[in-house]
Every structure is written in C-alpha cells, then in structure tokens.
Structure 1
C-alpha cells in the first residue's frame, strides 16, 4: 500500500505543473530547482556521488578551466576518435520523451539523419518531441497516464522525489562511485551537475550539463554598430541608453532591443543571482533595493521606443529573427545561443559581439548571473529496468565528447549530406539543420565546448567574452537544490511578479506597484521557498 507521501495524483501534478513550461524542467532555471540528497552524512553523499573522470582524448586550442569556462576549439580534429566500438542498442526500440526548442524534424521515412542514428545506436530510437513551452503539461499527463518513454526528461511537476521513486530506475548501483566508469562519457560529466540528480541518497537521473555557457548576456550586431561608427561597449547606464538611442530608427522600423533587457539592467546594480545569504537567511533578488532605479531605466527605454513593440508577445524564436534581420541589433540571450544566430543569419557579413554590463553609475563592471549547472535531468523508466545497461550505454553514446566521431555525427550529421568540411570545420546545411533536431541534446550530452565553425572569428570572440565576464559572474548559492513549495507555487507567484514587471516597464502600472507585489509574492510562497532552500543548503554542507 502506498503512503500518502508517495501517492501521485493527476490533479496534484497538473495543479503545480501547468504554466511551468521550459523553466520548470529539473535544474533548468536559476530558481534553485533540481535535486538535493536530503542527507547530512557527508560519507554517504561521497559514496553515492559518481566518480569524475575527465576525457583527455583531445586537447583544446583555448583551454578554459582557468577561467571557469568551457574549452574552445578552432577546428575539428582531422581524425576523430571512434569512441564507441559497438552500437549500444539491443535491436529493440528505445522510446524517448523530451522537448525541443526548434521546429519538429522530418519523419523517419524522410530523415536520413534519423535512419543513420538508428544504425549507429543499434536500436530504433522513437522520440516523442514536445515544444519546450508545452512540455511540463505534456509531462504531467504522461506521468499520470503511465505513458513515459524508456528515457524521459524530468518535467517541472510537484512531488519530484516521489515521482522518481515511483517511476524511475534507481541508478545508484550502476553509477555511484567507480561504477560509473563502465560508462566513461557519463563519468566525464561535470561534478556539479549531479546535485540535481540525487534524492534521499539515491541517484535517479543523469544531468545534461550547461553551466557558464547558459549565462545570459547582451549580444550586439557589431557590423551594424560599426556602420554607424559605434562600439560594442558601454560604461554606464547612461551610455547604454545613448547606444540604444543611436541604434533606433522608427522610420526604418528599427528598435535597438529585440526584447526588454530586464536582467541585463539588473546586472548593472549587482543584484544577486536569484538568492543571496544574508544574516544566515536566503534573500531573493526581487527584494533588492535597486529595483526602483532598474525600472526607471527600463521604463525610459520603452517610452522612447528603443525596445521592440512586440517584445512581450510572440515566440522565443522571434527575438532571434529580429536580431538576425537587423530590426533589433541588440538582444539578451545565453552564450549557448551563439551558434543558432550564426546558422540562421540573413547576411554572411554579420558579426556578433558581447557587451558586458557596466555598473549603472559608471564606476566599474556589473555582475552577470552565472548560468545553472544543468539545463535538465534525464531518468530511465522503471518499465525498462530489464534493459538498464543497454539504455545507459545509449546515453553514454549520446554523451560522447567533442573530438569523437560520435559527437561530430550527433551535432552535424553525415558529411556531404548534412554538412561539408571547410578548413577543418563542419558547416551544417539546411537539410542538416532540419533533420538533426531530434532533441538529442535533451536526452544526454557531453560537456559544452565553444566551437563555432560557421564563422572564422566567432569561436575566439566568444571565448574571450566568456573569459572577461564569467570569472566574476555571480553564482546562485542554491542552484540544483529542491523546494517543494517552489515546485508547486513558484510558477504562479513568479508569473504574477513577471506580469507586474511587464506592466511597470510598459507604463501600465507605476513603479510603486513593485513593493506591494513583492510583499504578496513573499506571503504567497516566497518566504516558504526561502526556508526550504535554506534547509537544503544547510544539508548540502
């Protein structure tokens, strides 16, 4: 008989899961979602945590470890390593439940890449893809209906520890300590990522690493700035406003900013990355005293017409289109988006630069928020427990790192079909971009690298920008830690504050509306979230 704590109901999952979307995936956002061991015994945690064995098969052109950033590569190795000697599959289908941020790819019958993937995997891979914004709702329904794939990306529903205990294989015997060395590319995953995968002293999932590459920054169309004699740099909030003014031209239907640069302006005031420890307690960034000044700047940008009028409508892809077609030469996005901008650019002469946030008063450099350690976690269905070694071997195949033949195929497809080699760099074509979008990087992935073959200078430009920004970036002290109240109430109360933010920026509400909205956020669940995360933080030490 199940206890009340372990019972999973459709009503409970849908009530807390609706409206979470992509941000609700375990470990995906900087809100502290993810896992915690819930165990104060350091010896137990050490025994459970998988061993870390760095892959040394390829040496980077630009090593990033010293700067806490990914390694960078200027070319792909001429003779990529065949990292997997035998296909990992057992000939039987492997079903997958995950999401996508790109258009759905062609069906298997019309998809050469998918057909080749099945051959290399040694099993037919059957993928159920859902747009990321709809994933949590779809995931909750799949859990309640017992229709999860053999592999599933964990969605942002309530009762995650109970759900994993009920639905997922306990991976501890297979991955704890040195056991993981049977799967060397899973052992190569960054250590911090496992924080989001361990509940009650057991490993229930595998991390999909991101880290510094998922930090949000301000992109600029350096080529467009240069045409106007402008530089991709600002030294104060006033400088930023002046740059936006210079780049906006209503007669040409051009607005400097593709979306409201809310986080970027907050970075100018060194607001904490989601949470900070003050007097032994966790304090949320929403309570920061500088919000009035932040809103004054953002309101000024909106009233002047420097932010695209559709900034608060449409899809995430729309901001990328505005940036690439030049209608908005500034956009806030993560470092990981750089390659997509290059692959979808309209003009081959497009040059991208990053503008670090200054302190608002011009006294120095602002504080960028460090991206979360993982973008998600993946679990294995208990219904597939009799095939656990096959499925772990498949995930190990997907995690093969840069420099291997498997990575080259997974990211760029077949040479001559999906990409061509140009000076040692695989440049993907339209067929490749379309057919490879099977959500593989949301099933398993190796450590992120900086490699931008579409443009000769971009790899080094991106590396240097990260080297400048990331060493001083602010981390979230509770990233990867779990709060049930955050999972149940966080999406609703956060959305309510986001609505107030939009209303203030667009002038529908006065700046004075912020303080009472934050007070309501705290009483509606924010204070309880802080308490739960504080407890998780104490247990992790």
Structure 2
C-alpha cells in the first residue's frame, strides 16, 4: 500500500481545494503529507513506465522547430490530407466527458452540425459537460465529491491529487507503458516530457495535453500601429520600453499603450528565475529575487504616467484581448498560443502582429523569457469505465491525430463550406465554425502544437521567427513536473495575497517597501514549506 492509499480521500478535502496550481507543475514526484516523498516517482522509476516516443513523420514541415525547442510551422495544409484512423474508435455507447472551455458554450447537439459529424466519425455519441476555466475547479471538486465525473475527465486542481486518481481513475500503465502505447500511435507522438504530468506513485493515470514553448508568455505588439507612428517592434533597455509606451499612448484617441501591467515582461528584463531557482539542494522562489524593487519602480512609472489601460486591474481576460484586437492597447502580454485568436479578431485588414523580446534592463543584451511548461493539464479515464479503457484510449488517440491528417482538419476546422472556407487552399473558420467546434476537444487530448496560421499570409513564418528568437534562450522552471501538497492546498491563497500587494504597489496604494513584508508573510504562511516539498521531490527525481 502506498502512502496515498493509506490516507482516504475525503469530501471535505476535495471541496477545500484552491484554484491556481497548473497540472503542468503538479505531477511526478509526490509528497505523502508527512514530510516524505514516494521513491516510486524518482526519475529511474518513471523511466521504467514512461510511454515510448514515436514521432509522427507523415507530414514534412515548412519550418522545422525541433532544433530550437519550438513547434514546427506550416504555411499550407496538405491538399490531400492522410486518413489516419481507418475505423471509428467508439463502441456505439455514449462517451461522457467532463472538461473545461475558454470560449462561449457551443450550440446544442440538435443545432450543431459539427457535433453531429463528430459523433459519426467517433462511432459513439460524445456527451460533453463544459465549464468555463474560471469555474472549473469548483465544478470539478463538486463532481468528485458527488461521484459524477464523466468517463473521461480533465483533472482539476484539488488537494490530494494522487489519492484522487488512485480512487477515481483507471490505471493506464498496462495499456501505455513503454512500447504498449504503440497501439495508440498518436498518443505515442506526444513528447516524453509531457508524460511526467500523468505519472503518480509509479503508475500512469493520465494522458497529457501537450503545450511547451507555445505557452511561454511574451509581449505582443500591433506592428501596424507602431509602423504608422514610425516605431519599431523592439526595445533595447527598460528606459527604451518606457519611451515606447509613452509614444503609443494617446489620450485623444483613447489609446493606452498596455492592455495590462507587463509585470512578467519587466521581470524578464532582470533575469528573474522562472518561478523557482536551484541553490544547491534547495529551491528559492522568484518572489525573493533582489530586483523586485527596481521592477516595481518601472511598473509604477508606467501606471502613474497613464501608459497602462485604466481598467487593467478590474477587467477580465477577454477585455485584455479585445483592447489589443481593436487597437486601443497596442501592447499586451500573452502566450504564443494566443496568436491565432488575435488573427481571428483583430480589426483592420492591414493589422499585423510582432513580438517584442525583453531586453536586459540596462541595455546590455537580451533578457530571458520564462519557458512554458510541457503540459497544460492531464485527462484521466474513470475507474467506473475500466471495462471500456481501450475504447476510450482509442477515442483520445483520435483526438491526438496530428497536423496534416483528415481527422485534424475536421477537428480544428469542421466541414468544408459549412464551418470553414478555403483561402488560397487553406481552411479558415467562419463564424459558424468558430461557434460549433468549441467542444473542448483540445482539453481532452490533442496533438503536439503546430504553428499554422492561415488567417493571414506570412503569419506562420512570423510566429516561427518570433519563437526562434525568444525560446532557445528562455528559462525553464526546475520544479516543473513535481508535486507539493502544500502548494495545492495553500498556494492559490498565498499567491492571491501576493498579487493583491503587487497590484497595490503598482497603483501607488502601498509603498515599494511593502513587498518585503508580503514575501516574508508568504514564506511563513506556507511558501517555505512548498519550497521544501518541491526541493525534496526534485532531489528524489535526480
């Protein structure tokens, strides 16, 4: 019996959970809550069961990204895409899904041609229970406590994740470990590093949703607006950045340079570690970095000067995107994966995107972006559905079919003439397509990300070039793939308290000197315990 099996998963424990830890960093080595770490999750043990990696080579990219640790890029979708799945993966019985969405809920099955066609291709009715990302943690905790999870579920952020999976999820190790995964060739195409996110206590419990470099956060610019003002999408120092923001702000036009505070971007100018840094066998939080006071000085100046949108602290994520798309804020901090959404919503046929890499604050070179985690979440199969594991894995394998296949084309773009039109031979979603295809399929399983931006000629090359300039030099988080129970239980509240102080300092409601006290409180309230647990897990993983 493992350390997790010895401690029952309680309804109170599930409902007590917080909501900020990404599953990308919540897996791998597991803490038993009594200061110990399960040795079954050291790297040697992981290697024994980690699924084999078999790269899909059916389509040759126009721009290969492996050398730079970035996705491949494609300018054209193949005119005759390959059929990757010869038989429907379903067994005729309904497949119940519990997952998340970041887009409006799509039309119901009866009014949704895409959903109807999906059911035909799958060979089973797919019933999807969608919840917005901001509400998913509570919804997931309630579903766990009420024993109402679907056959397939995206694992939410709750306490005792290892116990939860042991109690509620099917053990996929016999089906996916080593060469066994080759029965599901498109799951085998997922990068090896992703699978750490689904391994707990020596067992494979989840299929990872791959992301990696594409989830790195960078500063977007409306290159067309900058060009109109004779400006370039580049800065060489912190002072240069402030001047760019000044030039872009125009109160008469109701234009503010920045959609939101560029906190992480400025931190990147000072070489702050990506969440954690190693100091011998210890881990040190970026919150303790000595440059925070200088960072706050720059951010305060941007806010006081009116270069940040006045609603930046009160709006929603969608508001941030809207400001950038309509040009009212020509600079925004977002992940590389957001590029396609901006192309679909930007106002003006001449609108163009460029990325501005962070400089070193003193102008002595290029700063360092934080590298995105390999995985954004994991999907598990309910223990109640163990009798259908092979069917459900075949369904997830179908959802992971890669770029260049008929299945990928359908999943992402729907039916020709119904959900997308062809522009120079490339599929481009129409309004009906954007609405009906939002079934959260990419949060059930997905292929490795590819850069394909048919909405605007040259965009695939532009994003590839931007990633090539930023990602090889990016800083990875050394704690990625590790699990801390204290972080799951207390991390969200601790970070929320730090963020509140951060926002107050930027807006001048508190002095910069308040930062030291906030960090001290974070450490004493649980931050030091999180660092200790992650450091122990990291030590066991070496």
Q: When the two structures are superposed, what TM-score results if normalisation uses the length of structure 1?
A: 0.97
8 Å contact kept, 2:5–2:163: no
Matched, 1:33 2:30: no
| Whole-Å separation in 1 of the counterparts to 2:174 and 2:210 | 22
Q: In the alignment, what sits opposite 2:535?
A: 534
Deviation at residue 41 of structure 1 after TM alignment: 6.0
| Whole-Å separation in 2 of the counterparts to 1:234 and 1:372 | 26
SS in 1 for 2:153: strand
8 Å contact kept, 2:28–2:41: no
SS in 2 for 1:152: strand
Q: In the alignment, what sits opposite 1:355?
A: 356
Q: Deviations over 1:118-171 (max 9, x none)?
A: 111111110000000110010000000000000000000000000000000000
Computed over aligned residues only, the root mean square deviation of the Cα atoms, in angstroms, reads 1.4
Q: Deviations over 1:480-502 (max 9, x none)?
A: 21100000000000110011110
Deviation at residue 40 of structure 1 after TM alignment: 6.1
Pairwise mapping of residues 142-161 of structure 1 onto structure 2 (< 5 A)?
A: 142-161=143-162
Give unpaired runs (5+ residues) of structure 2: 31-37
Q: In the alignment, what sits opposite 2:35?
A: none
Matched, 1:139 2:132: no
Deviation at residue 16 of structure 1 after TM alignment: 2.1
Deviation at residue 278 of structure 1 after TM alignment: 1.2
SS in 2 for 1:411: helix
8 Å contact kept, 1:8–1:144: no
| Whole-Å separation in 2 of the counterparts to 1:34 and 1:269 | 29
Pairwise mapping of residues 353-502 of structure 1 onto structure 2 (< 5 A)?
A: 353-502=354-503
Matched, 1:265 2:266: yes
| Whole-Å separation in 2 of the counterparts to 1:15 and 1:392 | 31
Q: In the alignment, what sits opposite 2:11?
A: 10
Q: Deviations over 1:259-296 (max 9, x none)?
A: 00000000000100000001321000000000000000
8 Å contact kept, 1:257–1:331: yes
| Whole-Å separation in 1 of the counterparts to 2:132 and 2:103 | 8
Deviation at residue 424 of structure 1 after TM alignment: 2.3
Matched, 1:126 2:127: yes
List 4+ stretches of structure 1 deviating above 6 A. Answer: 1-4
Q: Deviations over 1:216-236 (max 9, x none)?
A: 000000000011011000000
8 Å contact kept, 2:276–2:479: yes
| Whole-Å separation in 1 of the counterparts to 2:46 and 2:286 | 30
Q: In the alignment, what sits opposite 2:60?
A: 59
Pairwise mapping of residues 4-403 of structure 1 onto structure 2 (< 5 A)?
A: 5-17=6-18, 20=19, 23-27=20-24, 32-36=25-29, 38=38, 39=40, 43-403=44-404
- Number of aligned pairs? 533
| Whole-Å separation in 2 of the counterparts to 1:481 and 1:276 | 14
| Whole-Å separation in 2 of the counterparts to 1:338 and 1:43 | 38
Is the alpha carbon distance of 1:191 and 1:353 closer, same or farther for their aligned partners in structure 2, counting shifts above 3 Å?
same
8 Å contact kept, 2:266–2:358: yes
| Whole-Å separation in 1 of the counterparts to 2:527 and 2:109 | 46
| Whole-Å separation in 2 of the counterparts to 1:120 and 1:68 | 33
8 Å contact kept, 2:218–2:355: yes
Deviation at residue 42 of structure 1 after TM alignment: 5.3
Give unpaired runs (5+ residues) of structure 1: none
Q: Deviations over 1:483-535 (max 9, x none)?
A: 00000000000110011110101111110000010011011111111111111
SS in 2 for 1:358: coil
Q: Deviations over 1:413-462 (max 9, x none)?
A: 11111111112211110100011110000000000001100010111000
Deviation at residue 474 of structure 1 after TM alignment: 0.1
| Whole-Å separation in 1 of the counterparts to 2:96 and 2:313 | 36
SS in 2 for 1:427: strand
Deviation at residue 36 of structure 1 after TM alignment: 2.7
